[in-house]
Chains A and B, each alone.
Chain A
Amino acid sequence: MKVTGLLRLSPKVVPLLTTALVLVLLLGGASASFDGFASSYVMADLVSENAFLGIAALGMTLVILSGGIDLSVGSMIGFTTILVATLISDGRWSPVAAWIAALGIGTAFGGAMGMLIQVFRLPAFLVTLAGLFFARGMAFAIKKQSVQINHPMYDRLNDITLPIGGGAELSFGALVFLGMFLVTVLIAHFTRFGRNLYATGGSESSAVLMGLPVARTKIGVYTFSGFCASLAGIVMTLYMDSGNPANAMSLELDAIAVVVIGGTLLTGGIGFVPGTLLGVLIYSTIYQITYFANLPASLARISIGVLLMGFIILQRWLSRAR
Chain B
Amino acid sequence: MTTHDPPWYRRFVDNTIFWPLIALAALLIFNAFSSPSFFDIQVRDGHLYGSLVDVLNRGSIGIILAIGMTLVIATGGVDLSVGSIMAISGAVAALLLTETSLPFPVVIVAALSASLIAGAINGVLVSIVGIQPIVATLILMVSGRGIARYITGEKVIALVDDQFSPAFDFIGNGHFLGLPFTVTLFVLLFVATLLIVRRTAVGLFIEAVGANPNASRAVGIHAHGVKIAVYMFSGLCAGIAGLIDASNINAADTVNAGVFTELDAIFAVVVGGTALSGGRFSLTGSLIGAILLQTLLTTMYTFGVAPDVAPVPKAAVILFVCLLQSDVFRRMVFRRAEA
A296 — which chain B residues lie within 8 A by C-beta?
149-150, 153-154
Q: Which of B30-38, B97-105, B133-141 contacts A (4 or more CB under 8 A)?
A: B133-141
- Across the interface, which residues of A come within 8 angstroms of B312, CB to CB? 133-134, 137-138, 141
What is the CB-to-nearest-CB distance from B309 to chain A, in angstroms, rounded to a whole number?
5
Q: Mark A129-146, 1 if CB is under 8 A from B, else 0.
A: 111111011101100100
Q: Which of B118-159 contact A (CB under 8 A)?
A: 125, 129-132, 134-136, 138-147, 149-150, 153-154
Bound-state CA distance A273–B207 (Å) is 40
Residue numbers in B under 8 Å from A308 (CB-CB) = 138-139, 142-143
Is the contact region of chain B dominated by helix, strand, or loop, or is it mixed?
helix
Q: Which of B135, B147, B323, B327 has a CB less than 8 Å from the CB of A302?
A: B147
- Choose among B130, B149, B318 the residue that contacts A126 (Cβ–Cβ < 8 A): B318
**CB–CB A302/B143 < 8 A:** yes
Per-residue B-contact encoding for A103-140, CB less than 8 Å = 1, 0 else? 00000000000001001111101110111111011101
Shortest C-beta distance, B248 to chain A (Å), equals 21
How many chain B residues touch A (CB < 8 A): the figure is: 46
Contact mask for chain A residues 288-322; partner B; CB cutoff 8 A; 1 contact, 0 none: 00000000111111101110110011001000100
Q: Which residues of the partner chain B approach A304 to less than 8 Å between Cβ atoms?
A: 142-143, 146
Give the A-B contact count at a CB cut-off of 8 A. 127
Could you tell me the distance between the alpha carbons of A253 and B310 in the complex, rounded to whole angstroms?
Answer: 22
- Asked whether, in the complex, the Cβ of A257 is within 8 Å of the Cβ of B315, the reply is no
Contact with A along B5-33 (1 / 0, CB 8 A): 00000000000000000000000000000
Mask, B305-327, CB within 8 Å of A = 1, is 01011111111101100110011
Per the bound structure, the CA–CA distance linking A121 and B328 in Å amounts to 7
Cβ of B276 within 8 Å of any chain A Cβ, yes or no, is yes
Distance between A57 CB and nearest chain B CB, rounded to angstroms: 14
Contact (Cβ within 8 A) A305 B146: yes
Taking chain A's interface residues, is the majority helix, strand, or loop, or is none over half, making it mixed? helix
Q: Is the beta-carbon distance between A130 and B318 smaller than 8 angstroms?
A: yes
Q: With an 8 A cutoff between CB atoms, is B215 at the interface? A: no
A312 near B139 with CB under 8 A, answer: yes
| B176 within 8 A of partner (CB) | no
A253–B138 CB distance below 8 A:
yes
User: A126–B138 Cα gap in the complex (Å)?
Assistant: 15
Binary CB contact string for chain A from 37 to 65 against chain B (1 if under 8 A, 0 otherwise): 00000000000000000000000000000
Cα-based distance from A109 to B283 in the complex (angstroms): 35
Residue among A245, A254, A305, A313 with most chain B CB within 10 A: A305
Contact yes or no, A266 B132, CB < 8 A: yes
Contact A120 B308 (CB under 8 A): no
Shortest CB distance A282–B (Å): 14
Closest 4 CB pairs of A and B: A305-B143, A301-B146, A140-B308, A137-B312
Can you offer 14 A-B residue contacts whose CB atoms are under 8 A?
A120-B328, A121-B326, A122-B323, A125-B134, A126-B270, A137-B308, A140-B309, A144-B306, A297-B149, A298-B146, A299-B146, A302-B147, A305-B140, A305-B143
Residues of B within 8 A of A (CB): 125, 129-132, 134-136, 138-147, 149-150, 153-154, 259-260, 263, 266, 270, 276, 306, 308-316, 318-319, 322-323, 326-329
